[in-house]
């Protein structure tokens, strides 16, 4: 699906996902949950945020590989309908992103909902301990959860994170110092690390 976006503007990408969210909603005869979404403009382009009245479930750059799959998984998990609007978590993360990209915030406080396996959640919680402006290798992350041989599984869990920046998977790099992977785009990963290092 990403090939469809080659040469496309942010507005064209946003329109695609807007139509996708609307289409998912039309496909449901009955629903169990309403999830509210918002587009948040940042220095690195738009981010999609999805929340209910209590928790943030998703925060991703519009260039995120697999974003369409993540939206579908959320809807299927909760039998949800998407509406555009504002909830307390969406208001909170909008304010925090502005502070983060201004170099005035290093630790997000918006309440989040972790949707993953116990192993994935263990990895994500450990990711949150990586200090602002610092990086770990995948091997360091695996050792930190006391599973040093599971660095490949750790890397996969890292890639399944749906809460960009809040769970700072961008702070994990290859052992040789190279950037490694990042679902939100390596150009964004590089920019995020540069932003954080410039503030410490």
The residues carrying an active-site annotation are 169
- Rounded (10°) angle between helices 118-127 and 151-159: 80
Q: What's the CA gap between 72 and 65, in Å, rounded?
A: 13
The DSSP secondary-structure symbol of 163 reads B
* Among the listed residues 73, 146, 151, the one whose alpha carbon sits nearest the alpha carbon of residue 116: 73
SS3 42: strand
Strands (E), the chain: 33-42, 45-51, 56-61, 80-84, 136-137, 172-173
**What tokens appear for 190 in the block?**
């590089």
């Amino acid at each position: 699906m990403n090939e469809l976006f080659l040469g496309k503007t942010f507005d064209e990408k946003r329109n695609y996902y807007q139509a996708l969210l609307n289409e998912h909603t039309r496909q449901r005869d009955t629903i169990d949950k309403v999830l509210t979404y918002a587009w948040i403009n940042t220095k690195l382009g738009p981010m999609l945020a999805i929340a209910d009245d209590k928790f943030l479930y998703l925060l991703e750059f519009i260039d995120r590989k697999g974003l369409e799959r993540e939206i579908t998984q959320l809807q299927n998990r909760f039998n949800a309908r998407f509406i555009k609007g504002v909830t307390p978590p969406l208001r909170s993360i909008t304010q925090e992103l502005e502070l983060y990209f201004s170099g005035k915030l290093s630790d997000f406080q918006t309440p989040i909902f972790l949707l993953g396996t116990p192993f994935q959640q263990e990895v994500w919680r450990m990711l949150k301990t990586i200090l602002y402006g610092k990086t770990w290798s995948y091997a360091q992350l695996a050792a930190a959860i006391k599973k040093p041989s599971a660095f490949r599984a750790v890397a996969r869990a890292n890639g399944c994170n749906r809460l960009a920046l809040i769970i700072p998977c961008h702070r994990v790099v290859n052992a040789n110092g190279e950037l490694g992977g990042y679902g939100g785009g390596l150009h964004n990963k590089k920019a995020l690390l540069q932003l954080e290092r410039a503030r410490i």
